[in-house]
Every structure is written in structure tokens, then in C-alpha cells.
């Protein structure tokens, strides 16, 4: 079994627990790096690790909520809880960026030399390697489990890696050139980059909460299955899809000859539903049977794909 396969086999909840542990470790490493060097860039990097810890903890809580089965109050389940996690990740990233910009602005006004650069950068690089490996594994698992919460946390960790890389380069240049303004300048650049990442996460979460249609690749699989069942006397229309966390839903009409027995129609509908759910893991299909001479109409044509 390859490393990627091993990563996919691990549950999102287990990866998020590990993310919490790694966040605690990197906080210690990065705060020590800042204490040794006095670099505002490394301080900004350490501040983002606190965001990592809060975000991973919140994501873990939301994944547990999303796993709860459907009940009387939530007949479609709790899958959308993962979108709240991703939105929280984005907002936390934005707040971290604002805090970094404020800290960097103060350092522009009062430049300070950096000290013990070698030891500080070594600690920063070590923490980045740990975070990078964790993010790679989490992306593998997120794609396999279709977990928005896990993907959001992985994206945040990748942002942290880029943050650390920029800080390492910046602090190294400060030590080589003596240009003290480079330290806060790097911090500003890092803040703008993670600000963009945070805004993107918030946007994607909002789209998920608004029942966005399934991905084009998933829609193509659905259409492929329906085409395999089409017949001169059987047709499908009003295909509507939506996402809800790691779940996918499709509703459609299946037209058949009016003289078809109920038993035959129900058996064929079951075959179509099973084929759809086999082609798209996590899909829930709802099919309404109609005679060929009956057309159902929606008042809002924008509901249709």
C-alpha cells in the first residue's frame, strides 16, 4: 500500500486530532524561534500557528457533528456542519492576517535587528516540514472522504508552509544585507497572501451552504448512468443536484409508458438509483416516476441544470 493510500485510509477525525497535536508542537517551535531572533516575521508565523490550533479544534468538533445520523429535526443529516468549519478557518486566517499587518506596521516605525538567525530559522524550517507532510496527507484523505472541513484545514496548513517559507527567506536576507525594513516587509507580504486564502475559504463555504450543484465531473457521471438506461420508451428530465458536506443529492423525473406495471416501474427505478449511487459514492438519488404523456413543470426554471 502506497503512502497516499495509507493517508486516504485514515479518517478525517483522526487527521484533525493529529493536526491539533502538530499545531501545539509548532507553536512551541515557532515561539522559540521568535524569542531567539526577535524577528517580527517569525512572530507573525508563530501567530498563525495559534490560528492553526483553534481552527483544527473547531474543524474536529464540526466533523463529529457532521457524522451524526439524521433525526426528526434534521431529516437530511448534519453534513453541512463541515461548511461552518471551513468558514471559521477562513475568518481565522483573515484575523491572523490583520494582526500580522498591525505588528509589521509597528516594526516599520521601529526597526529592530534580528539575532541568532541560524537557530531560529532551523526551528522554523523543522516546523514547516512537519506541517507540509501533514497537509499532504490531509489532502489525500479529504479527497477520498469528500470532507470540506479536512480540506479547509489542509489548505490552511499549506498557507502556513508558504508563510514560513517567506519568513525564512526574509529573515535570511535581513541577516545578509542588514536591511531591517525587509523583516516587516516580508511579514506584510505573508499577511496579504494568507488574507487571499482566507477570503477564498469563506467564499467556498458560502457556496456550499447555498446548495451549490455538484461538481462537473460528478454531473458527468450522473448523465452517463442515465444515458445507459435511456430507451425509446424511457427518458429522464428535470435533473437537479446539490451538495451537502460530503454528501451529493440528485432529484429527477423518470418517464415510462403508462401501461407499465407498478412492480416493473419500481424495479427499474431501483436499478437506476443503485447504478447512480454506485457510480458516485455518497450520492443520494430520488426519482419520481411519471407516464410518458405527463409533463411536470417548475415555476422557476433556474432550479434546473
| CA 95 – CA 82 distance, rounded (Å) | 20
Q: What is the CATH number of the domain that holds 149?
A: 1.20.1510.10
What is the average pLDDT score of the chain? Answer: 79
Domain count of the chain?
Answer: 2
Q: Are residues 38 and 166 in the same domain?
A: yes
Provide the greatest CA pair distance for the chain. 87
Q: Are residues 26 and 140 in the same domain?
A: yes
231: pLDDT strictly greater than 60: yes
- DSSP codes of every residue in 88-124: HHHHHHHHHHHHHHHHHHHHHHS------HHHHHHHH
What pLDDT sits at residue 151? Answer: 77
Q: What is the CATH number of the domain that holds 272?
A: 3.30.70.1350
Q: Are residues 196 and 220 in the same domain?
A: no
Residue 292 binned pLDDT confidence (cut-offs 50, 70, 90): confident
Boundary-marking domain end, from 153, 174, 209: 209
Is the pLDDT higher at 40 or at 246? Answer: 40
238: pLDDT strictly greater than 80: yes
Q: Are residues 204 and 222 in the same domain?
A: no
Domain that holds residue 205: 3-209
Residue 153 binned pLDDT confidence (cut-offs 50, 70, 90): confident
What pLDDT sits at residue 124? Answer: 83
Give the contacts of 134 (CB within 8 A, at least 6 positions apart).
15, 18, 19, 22, 157
187: pLDDT strictly greater than 50: yes
Q: Are residues 87 and 156 in the same domain?
A: yes
Question: pLDDT tens-digit profile of 96-138?
Answer: 778 777 777 777 777 777 777 778 788 888 888 888 888 888 8
Amino acid at each position: 500500500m502506497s503512502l497516499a493510500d495509507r493517508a486516504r485510509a485514515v479518517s478525517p477525525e483522526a487527521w484533525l486530532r493529529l493536526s491539533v497535536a502538530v499545531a501545539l508542537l509548532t507553536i512551541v517551535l515557532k515561539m522559540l524561534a521568535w524569542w531567539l531572533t526577535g524577528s517580527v516575521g517569525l512572530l507573525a508565523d508563530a501567530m498563525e500557528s495559534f490560528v492553526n490550533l483553534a481552527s483544527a479544534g473547531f474543524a474536529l468538533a464540526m466533523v463529529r457533528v457532521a457524522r451524526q445520523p439524521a433525526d426528526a429535526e434534521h431529516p437530511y443529516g448534519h453534513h453541512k456542519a463541515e461548511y461552518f468549519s471551513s468558514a471559521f478557518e477562513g475568518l481565522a486566517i483573515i484575523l491572523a492576517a490583520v494582526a500580522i499587518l498591525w505588528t509589521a506596521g509597528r516594526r516599520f516605525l521601529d526597526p529592530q535587528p534580528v539575532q541568532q538567525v541560524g537557530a531560529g530559522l532551523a526551528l522554523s524550517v523543522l516546523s514547516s516540514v512537519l506541517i507540509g507532510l501533514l497537509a499532504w496527507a490531509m489532502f489525500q484523505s479529504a479527497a477520498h472522504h469528500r470532507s470540506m472541513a479536512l480540506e479547509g484545514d489542509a489548505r490552511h496548513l499549506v498557507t502556513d508552509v508558504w508563510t514560513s517559507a517567506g519568513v525564512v527567506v526574509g529573515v535570511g536576507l535581513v541577516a545578509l544585507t542588514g536591511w531591517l525594513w525587509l523583516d516587516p516587509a516580508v511579514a506584510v507580504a505573508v499577511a496579504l497572501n494568507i488574507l487571499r486564502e482566507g477570503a477564498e475559504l469563506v467564499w467556498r463555504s458560502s457556496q456550499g451552504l447555498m446548495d451549490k450543484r455538484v461538481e462537473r465531473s460528478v454531473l458527468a457521471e450522473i448523465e452517463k448512468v442515465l444515458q445507459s438506461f435511456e430507451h425509446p420508451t424511457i427518458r429522464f428530465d428535470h435533473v437537479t443536484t446539490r451538495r451537502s458536506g460530503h454528501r451529493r443529492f440528485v432529484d429527477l423525473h423518470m418517464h415510462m409508458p403508462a401501461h407499465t406495471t407498478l412492480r416493473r416501474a419500481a424495479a427499474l427505478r431501483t436499478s437506476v438509483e443503485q447504478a447512480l449511487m454506485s457510480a458516485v459514492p455518497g450520492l443520494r438519488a430520488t426519482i419520481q416516476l411519471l407516464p410518458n404523456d405527463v409533463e411536470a413543470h417548475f415555476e422557476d426554471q433556474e432550479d434546473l441544470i
